Each structure stands twice: as structure tokens, then as C-alpha cells.
């Protein structure tokens, strides 16, 4: 993997990840203008003490139009990735949810109605200049470049002052919020550890304090031993439908070695990951009557504290059973936080095991 970094005309950064050295690019500094000024801030819910990210400017973000901004044939005023064909590109989001220093109320996070600045980074990762080929259908060499880019950005963003948690994720399909059809994902560097990740870390801390060891290693061991929910397994990774699955189709992909984040993976683990992760995504394409929209997120160690408690894993899930049947969140789930699962994890795992991963 060969990285080339540049600064676009509007000041944003772009990083090209190429599989071969020596690629030259013309007009790499061009970018569409104007770039909006982020107006993000954090506000804390005084009843739950959760931080809520306020980003009203995001309503104006790029959506599907006559020209795809991630394609090489986009006109200069629309192109987000200038310079011709590319393998993988990562660039600062024009409409970042993070980055705005505009608090309302006490800016130190104190008081009942507390707010704070929302520093951090929001990056877009385009998996290829090919508009028509999703990550599930890219060759393994390109999937490896994507993995290397995730790992490199995780390492670099973890070093940025004020960053507490780096999250690589993807929304695939307009039904789950993707605003562009071009295969891509995002990388967020949060200035706090989001609440769900914080609860996971706290559970890990409590389990270790009781002498139980790593709760994630124990979950992996239990799922492998029980076996009925295992979807795929390789020498270094295991994919399974979780015992308490929430979504119609949901797969957790665990590193079999206790490792904190993507940047800590060894070469063999990265190679192995490419094959099994692509196979999981392909199963989401073939398990139903048409490809399911999905969301995928990598759960990694926090940037600065308790990194030894974390265990690297991905979560891939869809709110669809098929093209016409969707799991909708009801008032009790959204209002009370009491999730009602309408799936059978063992049957979902069997369907995913049987789903074709070739062709």
C-alpha cells in the first residue's frame, strides 16, 4: 500500500491509497467550493448524561445528483476526489458532524444545561473510483487496501489531540441513510467515547475486576463452542449471529486474537480479514430476494485510556428481512430503550451460512 497525501484548494486533506507506486495525478488540489463552515456542538442530556452531537448544517450535505462526486468523470465543480483514477481515497468530509467550536451555555461541560465544543474529524473513504462495484464485490487486493487505509487512519487519528474514539463505519443503501450510491464509508474521530462504546468498556472493566478475564474473548469462545450461530470461521476470525441479536440479520466478526484495533493487526490477520469480511458482506447480498441494505461499524479501543480492555470486532446488520419486510423501531424501543427483537438468531445464522458467497 502506498499513501500520497495532499491539501485541496479549500484546505481539506485528502489521502490516496494505491496498490502500486508511481501514480501521478493532475490538479489534485482542486475541490468543489464553497465548503460550509461546521456549526457543530455537543449538548448533554441532563437526565441521562449522554452527549448529543448537534450538527444542523448536515441537512445540506451532498446527495445523489446528476454527477457522482466520487467518480472520475465528475465535473470540476462537483468532484470530491480530483486527479483521475484511484484505488482508495480518504478525504475530509465537506459536511462534518464534528469540528464546530460553537457551544451554547457553559462551554466546560458543567451545569444542568451543559454544552461543549465538538472538535474531532469526519472523513469519507471511497473504496474505489469504480461507481458500480460495492466492497463485497471488489477483489481481495482492493479489500486489503481498504483495510490498510482503515488501519492507517485509525493510527493517525488516535494521535490527534482531543480525539478519544475512532470509528470506521459504512451505511450501504439509501434505505439505511446512504446519501450516495458510490461505494464508500466514513471514519469519525470523536472527542468523547460514545455512550454505547463506553458501556461496553465498563462491562469489560467490571468483568476483569471480578477475575473473569476479557468478556469479549469469553463471548467468542462461547459462540464457537455452541456453534449454532456461527456463520463463518477462519484461522484468525470468527463471524457469528450474536446470542441476543437485535436485527433481522446481524453478524459480529471477532478477531480471534485479543487485539485493540485495526492498526494492531498483523499481516496474516489483515489478509484473513479481507476474505472473511468480504464473504460476510456477500451473504447480506444473497440471503434474501435482493441485496439487503446494511450498516457496518468497527468497534475499536479508545484512543487513550483502557485500551487493553477492548477486543477488535465488526458489527454488520440490516433492518430488512427481505425487500418488503423491515424492522421498525417502535415508541417503546426508542422512548424506553427496551429493544424488542423479532428475529430468531439461530435461524438467521442458518440462512446466512447457506447464502452463496460466490458469483
What is the pLDDT, as a whole number, of residue 106? 47
**Distance in angstroms (rounded) separating the CA atoms of residues 91 and 268:** 28
Q: Regarding the domain delimited by 197-354, which CATH topology (the fold level of the hierarchy) does it fall under? A: HIT family, subunit A (3.30.428)
Q: Do domains 2-192 and 197-354 have the same CATH topology?
A: yes
Place of cell 468480504: 278
User: Beta strands of the chain (E only): which ranges?
Assistant: 2-7, 13-18, 41-44, 51-54, 88-92, 115-116, 121-126, 165-172, 184-190, 230-233, 237-240, 249-255, 294-299, 313-318, 320-322, 325-326
pLDDT-based confidence at residue 109 (cuts at 50, 70, 90): low
Among 30, 57, 102, 184, the one annotated catalytic = 184
For the segment 310-325, what is each residue's pLDDT rounded down to a tens digit?
Answer: 999 999 999 999 988 9
Q: Partners of 44 in the beta sheet?
A: 51
Domain 2-192: assigned CATH number: 3.30.428.10
- Rounded Cα–Cα distance for residues 153 and 84 (Å): 22
Residue-range domain boundaries for the chain: 2-192, 197-354
Q: What is the pLDDT of residues 11-27, one digit of tens each?
A: 899 999 999 887 766 55
pLDDT higher than 80, residue 4: yes
pLDDT of residue 111: 84
pTM attached to this predicted model: 0.94
Residue 225 annotated as catalytic: no
Assign 359 a pLDDT band (cuts: 50, 70, 90). Answer: low
Residue 129, pLDDT > 90, answer yes
Question: What average pLDDT does the chain have?
Answer: 91
pLDDT at 103: 47
Among residues 92, 89, 96, the alpha carbon closest in space to that of 70 is found at: 89
Rg of the chain on CA atoms, in Å: 20
Amino acid at each position: 500500500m502506498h499513501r500520497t497525501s495532499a491539501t485541496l484548494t479549500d484546505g481539506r486533506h485528502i489521502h490516496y491509497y494505491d496498490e502500486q507506486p508511481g501514480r501521478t495525478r493532475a490538479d489534485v488540489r482542486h475541490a468543489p467550493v464553497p465548503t460550509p463552515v461546521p456549526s457543530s456542538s455537543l449538548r448533554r442530556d441532563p437526565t441521562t448524561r449522554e452527549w448529543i452531537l448537534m450538527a444542523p448544517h448536515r441537512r445540506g450535505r451532498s446527495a445523489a445528483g446528476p454527477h457522482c462526486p466520487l467518480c472520475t468523470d465528475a465535473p470540476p465543480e462537483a468532484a470530491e476526489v480530483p486527479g483521475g483514477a484511484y484505488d482508495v481515497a480518504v478525504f475530509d468530509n465537506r459536511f462534518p458532524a464534528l469540528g464546530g467550536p460553537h457551544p451554547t451555555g457553559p462551554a466546560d461541560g458543567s451545569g444542568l444545561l451543559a454544552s461543549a465544543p465538538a472538535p474531532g474529524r469526519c472523513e469519507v473513504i471511497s473504496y474505489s473510483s469504480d461507481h458500480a462495484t460495492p466492497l463485497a464485490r471488489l477483489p481481495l487486493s482492493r479489500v486489503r487496501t481498504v483495510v490498510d487505509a482503515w488501519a492507517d487512519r485509525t493510527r493517525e487519528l488516535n494521535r490527534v489531540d482531543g480525539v478519544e474514539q475512532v470509528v470506521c463505519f459504512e451505511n450501504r443503501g439509501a434505505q439505511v441513510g446512504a446519501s450516495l450510491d458510490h461505494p464508500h464509508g466514513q471514519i469519525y474521530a470523536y472527542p468523547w467515547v460514545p455512550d454505547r462504546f463506553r458501556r461496553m468498556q465498563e462491562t469489560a472493566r467490571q468483568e476483569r475486576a471480578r477475575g473473569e478475564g476479557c468478556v469479549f474473548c469469553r463471548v467468542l469462545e462461547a459462540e464457537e463452542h455452541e456453534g449454532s450461530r456461527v456463520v463463518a470461521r477462519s484461522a484468525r476470525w470468527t463471524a457469528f449471529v450474536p446470542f441476543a441479536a437485535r436485527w433481522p440479520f446481524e453478524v459480529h466478526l471477532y478477531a480471534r486474537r485479543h487485539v485493540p484495533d485495526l492498526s494492531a493487526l498483523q499481516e496474516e490477520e489483515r489478509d484473513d480479514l479481507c476474505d472473511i469480511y468480504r464473504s460476510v458482506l456477500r451473504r447480506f447480498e444473497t440471503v434474501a430476494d435482493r441485496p439487503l441494505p446494511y450498516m457496518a461499524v468497527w468497534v475499536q479501543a479508545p484512543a487513550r485510556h483502557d485500551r487493553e480492555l477492548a477486543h477488535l470486532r465488526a458489527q454488520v446488520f440490516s433492518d430488512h428481512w427481505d425487500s418488503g419486510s423491515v424492522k421498525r423501531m417502535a415508541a417503546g424501543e426508542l422512548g424506553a430503550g427496551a429493544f424488542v427483537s423479532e428475529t430468531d438468531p439461530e435461524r438467521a445464522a442458518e440462512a446466512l451460512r447457506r447464502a452463496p458467497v460466490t458469483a
